[in-house]
Amino acid sequence: MQEINMQLSHEKSAALLERSKKVLAGGVSSEFRKFNHPHALFYDHAEGVYIYDVDGNKYLDFTLSQGPMIVGHSHPHVLKRVRDYSEKGQLFAGQHILEIELAEKLNKYIPSAELMRFCLDGSTAIQTAFRVARAKTGRNKFIRFEGHYHGWLDNVSWGLTLNKDKMGTRETPIPLPWSEGIADGVKHEFIILPWNDLELVKKTMAENHNEIAAIITEPIMCNSSCILPEEGFLQGLRDVCTHYNSALIFDEVITGFRTGLGGAQKHFGITPDLSIFAKALASGYPISAIVGKKEWMHSLAEGKVIHAGTMNSGCALIAAALGTIEVLEQEGTHERIYALGHRLMEGLRKAAKETGQNLLVQGLGPMFHTGFADVSKIKEYREVSAYEQPKSKLFIQGMQQRGVRIIGRGLWYISAVHEEKHIDHAIEMAKETLIELK
């Protein structure tokens, strides 16, 4: 196919990176953007399933900008919505009608979304959920799980580093900070546990429930190997939170709108008290939502819990969210995303088998993970150490050289505008790369 560009040149990107490093710390605006191949790249434009760098290389995109571009890049309907509504104004320091329309949509689709507030990103919306949970329970701590990413702010930047010698035992993990400069005191705000171990959660809650305001979890552990919840695990979290009057918080920043319009809570049939939606909500425009049951969210309504933000719910952001949802509402969209995801996962598994490679493919379909390991399943964060990281890196580089772009940690996202021909092309390129890796 014509999009193969085996000998990619990155001369212009390299020159821009050097220029950029003189004024942008590390040459980037988000840490993860450093890790492209062969270095941070500069992109020029993107449309549909393709993204183009400044050197004219064209990539079939499965990163979808770390998830948000669920209806593809530059979707005409979303752009029209943004253009039309932005002409009325940008930000009013006051309310506007589309906010209600968007909230009504979320209320219609998301089981727990009785009341909500809009924020700018996942990280800040998650902090709002903690505040709400603390206010209602009068307790300070939350339980969270190793390998789950809940944003980059201080009290959640722990338990994201695999260091066998320092991370304590599986049952009593020692949280390790993810970055320098994190306030040490915040480690008293949470208890960290391995995921998918309900008995351990129950035991910890039995011993500490007087202190636990909330349990926060990604309903699918997308950020580390795309691990699905074990049968009964999410229901078990629901039951234990109900029993002890703690909030169950679903971090649906990735799963929201991707697993379906109702998020993972609808997909699995488990209703949390509070949840966070971001990424796929608005096609790359910065908007997130904290949604929840009235009994939890009323503290915001009454102003007992303060949530604010100068830039919250600007016209373009809300219009982008409505436009994105309107595209997703078209009949059969999610079914197609799932079908394409399954086709790609199966195709990759077959290619691995045919080439004798230990490529492990796991996830739900709309998003999934690939890595190389001699195991049949990864089911919690510590098991991620089974992956042969250098080989995974080479695979991703090999794919990028062939014009197929995947997230550096092995995550793939499917959009509503991918087609079977794109999926089959990616499988063909993966097979070539797997042969090369031998």
Nearer to ligand PLP, 175 or 256 (CB): 256
Nearer to ligand PLP, 175 or 403 (CB): 175
Among 218, 273, 380, 432, which residue sits at the site for ligand PLP (rule: CB under 6 A)?
218
Per CB under 6 A, the segment of 18-26, 35-43, 248-256, 404-412 that binds ligand PLP is 248-256
Assigned token pair, 249: 């918080």
Assess 194 for contact with ligand PLP (CB under 6 A): no
Assess 154 for contact with ligand PLP (CB under 6 A): no
Assess 281 for contact with ligand PLP (CB under 6 A): no
Map residues 56-75 to x or -, x wherever contact with ligand PLP holds by CB under 6 A.
----------x---------
The active-site residue, picked from 50, 59, 85, 149, is: 149
What separation in angstroms does the CA of 265 have from each of 32, 39, 195?
Answer: 28, 38, 17
Active site residue 251: yes
The CB-of-257 to ligand PLP minimum distance in angstroms stands at 13
Q: Which of 320, 319, 337 is nearest to 260 (CA)?
A: 337
Nearer to ligand PLP, 195 or 431 (CB): 195
Assess 278 for contact with ligand PLP (CB under 6 A): yes
Assess 324 for contact with ligand PLP (CB under 6 A): no
Nearer to ligand PLP, 251 or 432 (CB): 251
Assess 196 for contact with ligand PLP (CB under 6 A): no
Assess 223 for contact with ligand PLP (CB under 6 A): yes
| Strand duo 43-47 + 50-53: pairing | antiparallel
Active site residue 21: no
Assess 40 for contact with ligand PLP (CB under 6 A): no
* Whether the Cβ atoms of residue 404 and residue 184 lie closer than 8 Å to each other: no
Nearer to ligand PLP, 177 or 286 (CB): 286
Nearer to ligand PLP, 103 or 276 (CB): 276
The active-site residue, picked from 141, 279, 293, 379, is: 279
Per CB under 6 A, the segment of 182-190, 234-242, 246-254, 306-314 that binds ligand PLP is 246-254
- For the chain, the residue count is 438
Near ligand PLP in 94-153, by CB under 6 A: 121-123, 149-151
* Whether the Cβ atoms of residue 188 and residue 332 lie closer than 8 Å to each other: no
DSSP secondary structure string, 86-155? HTT-S--SS--HHHHHHHHHHHHH-TT-SEEEEESSHHHHHHHHHHHHHHHH---EEEEETT----SSGG
Q: Which of 427, 436, 400, 431 is nearest to 37 (CA)?
A: 400
Assess 253 for contact with ligand PLP (CB under 6 A): yes
C-alpha span between 415 and 57 (Å, rounded): 21
Assess 274 for contact with ligand PLP (CB under 6 A): no
Contacts 24+ apart (CB under 8 A), 92-98: 92/315, 93/310, 96/313, 96/315, 96/318, 98/315, 98/318, 98/319, 98/322
Assess 413 for contact with ligand PLP (CB under 6 A): no
Neighbour count for residue 15 (Cβ, 10 Å): 13
The CB-of-254 to ligand PLP minimum distance in angstroms stands at 5
Q: Which of 330, 289, 352, 238 is nearest to 114 (CA)?
A: 289
The CB-of-377 to ligand PLP minimum distance in angstroms stands at 21
The CB-of-351 to ligand PLP minimum distance in angstroms stands at 27
C-alpha span between 208 and 192 (Å, rounded): 12
User: Identity (one letter) of the amino acid at 323?
Assistant: G
Assess 189 for contact with ligand PLP (CB under 6 A): no
The active-site residue, picked from 53, 197, 251, 273, is: 251
Question: Quick check: helix, strand or coil at residue 166?
Answer: coil
Active site residue 285: no
369 membership: H or E segment, kind and range: strand 367-372
Nearer to ligand PLP, 57 or 283 (CB): 283
Q: How many residues bind ligand PLP (CB under 6 A)?
A: 13
**Helix, strand, coil % (nearest 5) of the chain?**
40, 15, 40
Question: Which residues lie near ligand PLP (CB under 6 A)?
Answer: 66, 121-123, 149-151, 218, 223, 251, 253-254, 278
Active site residues: 149, 251, 279
